[in-house]
Amino acid sequence: MNKTPRDSENSAFTLIELLVVIAIIGILMSLLFPAVDGAMDAAKRTQAKNDVTQIATAVIAYETEYGKLPDTNSAAQSVAGNWLQALGGSNVSSLNPRQIVFIELQNAKKGKSGTNSSGTFVDPWAGVYKIAFDGDYDNNVTAGTNNVVVRKKVAVWNDVSTSPSNKQKRRAVVSWE
């Protein structure tokens, strides 16, 4: 077998080959990042939809147990305060004397929803969840970012305008759709 001059030298990548491999890896990574970002955004939207549904269900369960909504104020407000703690099982201001846990409250983490340090329930983007109650029991609630009339006892949505994240591409998530 005849040896060529290339065989007698060390077999290694040339600088050009190395640069081509790095360029291919860079192209593949640039294609992968939008797909991962889209999947993460879809997961956050799913978590937010689950949250608004759980909050609305917890309020309805509270009403079933105690015969009244946690707050008769029908104006939209942040999901926070004493009644949120009461839904979590605390007997704050005598709102939940039986200390029934209607919703599991967890601390918010980056990319995860939960209660933040000020006691407000936030969505996965760290925006505030809003809630409106049917204070006059006519089955009409004005809710959402567009102030739509919803035929429910309680309406919950994530307030896109309060999100500290600059990703305004996300859509509002609501409990009534």
* Whether residue 7 has pLDDT greater than 70: no
DSSP state of 76: -
- pLDDT of residue 49 exceeding 70, the answer is yes
H-type alpha helices, 67-142: 81-87
Query: Helix count (H) and strand count (E) of the chain?
Result: 3, 7
Instruction: Give residue-wise pLDDT tens across range 58-101.
Output: 999 999 999 888 766 667 788 888 888 889 988 888 888 999 99
How far is Cα 122 from Cα 115, in angstroms, rounded to an integer? 6
The Cα–Cα gap between 66 and 102 comes to 12
The pLDDT value recorded for residue 5 is 57
Which two three-digit tokens encode residue 47?
A: 């978590």
Kindly give, in sequence order, each residue whose CB lies less than 8 Å from that of residue 124, ignoring residues fewer than 6 positions away: 44, 47, 48, 111, 112, 113
**CA pair distance 157, 167, nearest whole angstrom:** 17
In single-letter form, the type of residue at position 159 comes to D
Cα–Cα distance measured from residue 109 to residue 122, given in angstroms and rounded to the nearest whole number: 10
CA distance 98 to 80: 20
Confidence of residue 57 (pLDDT cuts 50, 70, 90): very high
Q: What is the pLDDT of residue 33?
A: 84
